[in-house]
């Protein structure tokens, strides 16, 4: 099991904002150039810190959406209306600005080839961000580990990385399924409800194949998905979860 201790201390550094990508009306990706970066593993996050002119600081964690093999670090941020940090990152930040961050952080919600599979990734909303890193890493190393992604979003316009996920899902051994919980376009053939037992029974790998599961999303989503998977007979120790909640923003 990978338990590589991070050497030394976590230090804050200034990253250059090189590109901003509007993913959905509420979600923006921030492409960053870092001067001192020792690389990351798929699924890790960074802490971002904003400092006001009066010295007040606010800090939040954001998952890394890029693969370790990508040239730049990509964070994808959803704007929370009452947030302190995300409205600035989604609406105010400009190319050429500096952003203070530290990382990479976290060793638990991480996938590497040596962890094996088959992989079952379950995303609720912007919980897809670290799973995108895993999928890109999986593609970059040409992994033969079979992988399925189930992605729950409110509507098709809320699906982050849609075109890219379609491309990644076209690879052999990779499957991408969506469920849209609120609005569906005409002729939508995917799921049209919240993730439930029946859906997980259809989309997850059979219990006998002992899939390695990663679930990321809002706390309530993660609780439902992980407990339902356990009810279906999946091994709790092979279900890794990451929650974000209203304390973020």
Partner 1 sequence: MLDGNAIAGLLVEVFGAELTTATGVCANCNASAPVGELAVYLRAPGAVARCRNCDAVLMVVVDVRGAHCVDLRGFAALA
The stretch among 101-109, 163-171, 175-183, 197-205 that binds partner 1 (CB under 8 A) is: 101-109
Instruction: Report CA-CA distances (Å) from 28 to 78, 91, 194.
Output: 7, 9, 24
CA 196 vs. chain centroid, Å, equals: 21
Interaction of residue 115 with partner 1, rule CB under 8 A: no
> 34, 84, 102, 203: which one contacts partner 1 (CB under 8 A)?
102
Cα 68–Cα 71–Cα 72 angle in degrees, nearest 5: 90
Number of amino acids touching partner 1 (CB under 8 A): 27
Sheet holding 57-63, edge to edge: 57-63, 45-51, 98-105, 13-24, 27-33, 73-78
Interaction of residue 241 with partner 1, rule CB under 8 A: yes
> 13, 61, 113, 181: which one contacts partner 1 (CB under 8 A)?
61
The smaller minimum CB distance to partner 1, of residues 9 and 94, is found at 9
Q: Where are the alpha helices (DSSP H) in the chain?
A: 86-87, 128-140, 162-169, 197-203, 219-231
The smaller minimum CB distance to partner 1, of residues 107 and 173, is found at 107
The smaller minimum CB distance to partner 1, of residues 162 and 238, is found at 238
The stretch among 5-13, 119-127, 148-156, 184-192 that binds partner 1 (CB under 8 A) is: 5-13
Residue 109 CB, shortest distance to partner 1, in Å, is 5
Query: Which of the residues 181 through 240 are near partner 1 (CB under 8 A)?
Result: 219, 240
The smaller minimum CB distance to partner 1, of residues 166 and 220, is found at 220
Interaction of residue 94 with partner 1, rule CB under 8 A: no
β-pairing, 73-78 vs 27-33, is: antiparallel
Instruction: Report CA-CA distances (Å) from 139 to 19, 87, 117, 133.
Output: 23, 32, 14, 10
Query: Which of the residues 154 through 183 are near partner 1 (CB under 8 A)?
Result: none
Torsions phi, psi of 64, nearest 5?
-85, 130
* 103/130 Cα distance (integer angstroms): 14
> 40, 45, 79, 136: which one contacts partner 1 (CB under 8 A)?
45
The smaller minimum CB distance to partner 1, of residues 66 and 241, is found at 241
Residue 244 CB, shortest distance to partner 1, in Å, is 7
> 83, 131, 243, 249: which one contacts partner 1 (CB under 8 A)?
243
Cis peptide before 104 (omega within 30 of 0): yes
Which residues in this chain contact partner 1 in the complex, by CB under 8 A?
A: 1-6, 8-10, 45, 47, 61, 102-103, 105-109, 219, 240-245, 247
């Amino acid at each position: 099991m990978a338990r590589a201790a991070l050497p030394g201390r976590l230090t804050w550094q200034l990253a250059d904002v090189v590109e901003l990508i509007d993913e959905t009306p509420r979600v923006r990706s921030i492409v960053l150039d870092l001067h001192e970066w020792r690389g990351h593993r798929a699924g890790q996050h960074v802490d971002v810190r904003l400092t006001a002119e009066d010295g007040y600081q606010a800090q939040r964690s954001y998952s890394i959406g890029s693969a370790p093999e990508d040239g730049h670090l990509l964070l994808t941020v959803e704007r929370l209306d009452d947030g302190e940090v995300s409205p600035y990152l989604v609406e105010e930040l400009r190319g050429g600005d500096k952003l203070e961050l530290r990382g990479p952080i976290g060793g638990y919600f991480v996938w590497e080839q040596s962890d094996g599979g088959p992989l079952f990734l379950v995303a609720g909303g912007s919980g897809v961000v670290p799973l995108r890193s895993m999928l890109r890493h999986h593609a970059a190393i040409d992994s033969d580990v079979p992988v399925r992604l189930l992605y729950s979003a409110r509507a098709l316009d809320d699906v982050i990385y849609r075109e890219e996920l379609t491309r990644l899902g076209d690879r052999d051994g990779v499957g991408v399924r969506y469920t849209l919980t609120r609005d569906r376009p005409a002729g939508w053939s995917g799921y049209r409800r919240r993730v439930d037992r029946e859906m997980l029974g259809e989309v997850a790998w059979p219990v006998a194949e002992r899939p390695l599961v990663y679930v990321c999303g809002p706390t309530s989503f993660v609780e439902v998905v992980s407990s339902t998977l356990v009810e279906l007979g999946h091994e709790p120790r092979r279900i890794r979860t990451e929650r974000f909640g209203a304390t973020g923003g």
